[in-house]
Amino acid sequence: MAHFKDDLDPAFRGAGASPGLEIWCVENLRLVLVPKSSHGKFFSGSAYLVLHTFFLRSGSAWHEIHYWIGRDAKKVDSILASDKALELDLALGSQAVQYREVQGEETQKFLSYFKPCIIPVEGVFSSGQADLETSTYQVSLFTCKGDRVAHIKEVPFTRSSLNHNDVFILDTAFKIFLFSGCNSSSQERAKALEVVQYIKETKHSGKCDIATIEDGKFVADPDAGEFWSLFGGYAPIPKDLPCNSLQLPECPATKLFWITTQGKMCENAPGMLVKEMLSSDKCYMLDCEAEIFVWMGRSTSMTERKASISATEDFVRAQGKSTEIKLTFLTEGSETASFKSYFGDWPEKAEPKLYEEGRGKVAAIFKQQGYDVKELPDDNEEANLFMDICGERKVWRVDSGNLNVVPVVEPMKFYSGDCYIVQYTYLSGGREENLFYAWLGQKSLMDDRVQAISCMNDLVNSVKGDPAMAQIVEGREPLQFFFILKILVIFKGGKSTGYKTFIAENDNADETYHDSKTALFRVEGTSSYNMQAIQVDEVASSLNSSYCFILKTETSTYTWIGNLSSVRDHDLLDRMLDLINPTWQAVLVREGSEPDSFWTTLGGKAEYTREKKIKEFIEDPNLYVLASLEGDLKVKEIFNYSQDDLTTEDVLILDCHSDIYVWVGRHSSVNSKHQALTLGLKFLEKKKSLRQHQLEPPLYVVTEGSEPPFFTCFFQWDPSKANMLGNSFERKLALLKGKTEKLGIRTSWKAYSMETVSKDLKSQTNGVNDSKRSLSPMSTDFSSSLRSSDFRRFSSPPPVKKNLSAGSPNLDNNNGFVSKVSNLTRSAESLQLNEAECDVHLVAHPYDRLVVQSNNPVADIDITRREAYLSNEEFQERFGMSKQNFYQLPKWRQNKLKMSLHLF
């Protein structure tokens, strides 16, 4: 929320207090607020300021500022919009990123706010002038470019405007024609259909016909005949070369300039850019040719910042660069990933103290607005797994190409030098689904890792349906993996033949755990149904004040309790001690009161981590579309994404930072999960090169039509869309014409071939010689030597699928907790969809009586669902969506929206 000051523009009073868009237009050299009913309508003769506010998963608000310059806007209006963007940023705490948007060259992020498109209107904005209707409908011809967001441009209504590469929309009084060039993609045509629908609803009140015309196909088609008659009759369009939208840009030459207070550019010495070059009391321009960044130090004044922006625009004009070049303005502390990627030493993550400080500021703001700080989201709140955790488990250990069955008992015992495959069968939507994990120990051999991935792929292909599969590395396991295995102990060493041979050949000491050896275990977990004991080095530096440990020697056992551990941790410690070995009689040791014998066992006292364990910063997910061109991976982000962005022709990455999902469309060129996993690894390598990932997050592969619930929870999911046949264009056209029944429901997607084990995997072995065994901690590289023709030898038959039941004998324990969680999970989806229907029977109350700090609160209501008592009309006005759509959002997103409206 803007911190209002007397010297700030009154138009910014209350700006940024609620999520969504706020738009101002420059009129008579002042800002005028644009009503929501006119959002998306831009006049080419005006300049606008757009503020986008949303809540991050961490609980804090985030702002992005764009100023839009119309093609015919006056220079004085453009300058004012630029200055007001700086002023608004200052009001919001100097944390917003600012973008300059030029008509016709808008960024994808800007256009994503106004789906499906914006169509600029000729003229100048006037706050007191109503829309004028003309008696004669103006026929318009538009080009529609883009497969994610639509770039709309009006072109002359002549045949010469048409070409074979683009999609065109001809809007007439009674019919809208969509003309698809023969070189256009189905994704572009599908996006154009969304624009057609938009034009039909906004300009024709939903009452007009729609015709689709294919380039070159006009014989006996009355719509095609009518289309060409509007151009004076058919004539062939001149041939042109297909455009290649995936051309790789040349690596730009970057130059860093210091901008003086007088607006003079001083180029830095050439060489690698490092963060230390940026001083907090100066402004800089980073020229990357295709885009320019202006970085403003936190200690700079408003005058200096305005001067730096003015100098940058003068530089663009003086250098003969296009005035449509992308300009981004950043204040110190709000740098984007793109900007940081040009610097060789930029820290990967924000300092934990800054994160905690940010949470404190958020708490203060909410308290000022009438909230008690304790109402803020709790960092220790249990994560929603979005899946049934009462399924059936099967576990195998990989041993030189063999799969050895591991008995499913508690606790499960893994070894850090081995690799394991876990098959989990569960119920979802009334169907039996499978999820496969390949767990790669930190000390496992490269050969075993390769075999684990290959064997997992074989198992995936041996079961019905399209199960999701995941590669996880020891130390980066997702929470659901621990809930599936319930209780897990990870020992040092390994039991596989390859590991034993490697140890013998290299005369290395065998660290494999044995009851007769000294061992130190760190105990972790969130409940007695999800806990782990991980063996660590038997030295004092392995201790951590935030955890509890078990130290076992030949003669005695100690349980060590860190000063920062919780009562829950102490309970898990006792339970885990009994599970590892119930015969051990432990001596309780609290941090700071250790006997000498304790330190002697660990080789003497040493420094260890004594600070509070800080929860990782929760980053919001990002969606990317992938394309591989000449061996290089092209990554393009999709902003403000939805389920509709999962286009069937593409492969996409949902980057949740702690987890990564590779989504494979049925019409994409990827025809096996193994190949999709390769693309995921390439993406991860690309993120590492930009220093945006430190460790190896779990990497999932999911296929279109078989998305698991822990993937769909990131979207407002419509299952019917996930099961449609046809390409993107055919599906959109069927939806537009109400003929979805003709498309039908798809059948299961299966890997067509395992011959696509990518050769690129071999290039990721970082110089490892495939002919020589080696230990590879934290490596996920693979060899390309495996082929589908290789025969796998299994020590047990492939898994046989069984019917699941909620009352499975081996799960009806622990006071029925697991069964209760299962029932809640299975009914969550139906409860969520029925909430809006239940609200029909509630008595509606006005918004001001339902807010948390109301002066006249309503009595006898469910305070956890205050929003339910709003009328449908007021709910739509406050939330910007219907109740039905709201209750289909993930719970955390519902809570963030309610919090922003003082209803939570």
pLDDT in tens, 94-104: 889 999 999 98
Q: Which residues contact 379 (CB under 8 A, 6 or more apart)?
A: 615
Structure tokens at 543: 């201790």
Alpha-helical segments (H) within 432-496: 446-462, 479-485
- Cβ pair 165, 242 in contact under 8 A: yes
Structure tokens at 331: 């204040």
Residue 135 has pLDDT above 50, yes or no: yes
Structure tokens at 612: 């509070």
- Cβ pair 838, 831 in contact under 8 A: no
Give pLDDT tens digits for 842-879: 888 999 898 877 888 888 787 778 889 899 989 888 88
* Owner of token pair 């948007």: 101
- What's the mean per-residue pLDDT of the chain? 80
Residue 695 has pLDDT above 70, yes or no: no
Q: Which own/partner pairs from 832-840 qualify as long-range (CB within 8 Å, at least 24 positions apart)? A: 832/887, 832/888, 833/887, 833/888, 835/865, 835/868, 835/883, 835/887, 836/882, 836/883, 836/884, 836/886, 836/887, 838/868, 839/868, 839/869, 839/883
Residue 820 has pLDDT above 70, yes or no: no
Structure tokens at 802: 């069984």
Residue 245 has pLDDT above 50, yes or no: no
Picking from 41, 61, 50, the residue whose alpha carbon sits closest to that of residue 126 is: 41
* Exposed e or buried b per residue across 499-523, where buried means at least 16 C-beta atoms within 10 angstroms of its C-beta: bbebbeeeeeeebbbeeeeebbbbb
So what's the pLDDT on residue 346? 76
The angle, 0 to 180 degrees and rounded to 10, between the axes of the packed helices 186-203 and 728-737 is 20
Residue 70 has pLDDT above 80, yes or no: yes
Give pLDDT tens digits for 39-67: 989 999 999 999 999 888 777 788 999 99
641/551 Cα distance (integer angstroms): 49
Residue 798 has pLDDT above 50, yes or no: no
Residue 367 has pLDDT above 50, yes or no: no
533/271 Cα distance (integer angstroms): 48
More confidently predicted of 90 and 406: 406
Strand-pair partners of 590: 561
Residue 301 has pLDDT above 80, yes or no: yes
Burial class (CB in 10 A: 0-12, 13-18, 19+), 774: middle
590/580 Cα distance (integer angstroms): 21
| Residue 134 binned pLDDT confidence (cut-offs 50, 70, 90) | low
More confidently predicted of 138 and 345: 138
* Owner of token pair 């509890």: 548
Give pLDDT tens digits for 332-343: 988 888 888 888
Average pLDDT over residues 625-638: 78
Structure tokens at 412: 């499960």
SS (H, E, C) 749-764: CCCCCCCCCCCHHHHC
So what's the pLDDT on residue 822? 35
| Residue 617 binned pLDDT confidence (cut-offs 50, 70, 90) | low
Structure tokens at 80: 């004012």
Strand-pair partners of 329: 98, 294
3-class state of residue 605 by DSSP:
coil
So what's the pLDDT on residue 662? 96
* Owner of token pair 């907790």: 817
So what's the pLDDT on residue 562? 96
3-class state of residue 31 by DSSP:
strand
So what's the pLDDT on residue 828? 39
Residue 246 has pLDDT above 50, yes or no: no
Average pLDDT over residues 302-322: 85
Residue 287's identity, in one-letter code, is: D
Among 397-406, 713-722, 740-749, the range with the most confident prediction by mean pLDDT is 397-406
Q: Which residues contact 279 (CB under 8 A, 6 or more apart)?
A: 297
So what's the pLDDT on residue 615? 66
Peptide bond just before 222 cis, omega within 30 deg? no
- Cβ pair 667, 649 in contact under 8 A: yes
Residue 4 has pLDDT above 60, yes or no: no
The kind and range of the H/E element at 89 are helix 75-91
Q: Cα 590 vs. chain centroid, distance in angstroms?
A: 42
3-class state of residue 61 by DSSP:
strand
State the CB neighbour count (10 A cutoff) for residue 879: 22
Strand-pair partners of 552: 519, 557
Question: Following DSSP, what letter does each residue of 157-181 receive, concatenated?
Answer: SSGGG--SSSEEEEE-SSEEEEEE-
Picking from 9, 19, 189, 174, the residue whose alpha carbon sits closest to that of residue 898 is: 19
- Cβ pair 412, 395 in contact under 8 A: yes
Picking from 281, 237, 275, the residue whose alpha carbon sits closest to that of residue 256 is: 275
State the CB neighbour count (10 A cutoff) for residue 796: 11
More confidently predicted of 349 and 434: 434
| Residue 772 binned pLDDT confidence (cut-offs 50, 70, 90) | very low
Report the percent of the chain where pLDDT is more than 90.
46
- Cβ pair 886, 893 in contact under 8 A: no
Residue 143 has pLDDT above 50, yes or no: yes
| Residue 770 binned pLDDT confidence (cut-offs 50, 70, 90) | very low
751/673 Cα distance (integer angstroms): 7
| Residue 841 binned pLDDT confidence (cut-offs 50, 70, 90) | low
Domains of the chain: 10-113 (3.40.20.10), 140-231 (3.40.20.10), 255-342 (3.40.20.10), 382-602 (3.40.20.10), 622-729 (3.40.20.10), 847-900 (1.10.950.10)
* Exposed e or buried b per residue across 666-682, where buried means at least 16 C-beta atoms within 10 angstroms of its C-beta: bebebbbbbbbbbbbbb
So what's the pLDDT on residue 3? 47
Backbone angles phi, psi at 77, to 5 degrees: -70, -40
3-class state of residue 93 by DSSP:
coil
Residue 136 has pLDDT above 60, yes or no: yes
Average pLDDT over residues 278-285: 93
Report the percent of the chain where pLDDT is more than 70.
79
Strands of the 530-536 sheet, one edge to the other: 412-415, 487-491, 530-536, 519-527, 548-552, 557-561, 586-590
Give pLDDT tens digits for 186-209: 999 999 999 999 999 989 988 999
| Residue 482 binned pLDDT confidence (cut-offs 50, 70, 90) | very high
Peptide bond just before 411 cis, omega within 30 deg? yes
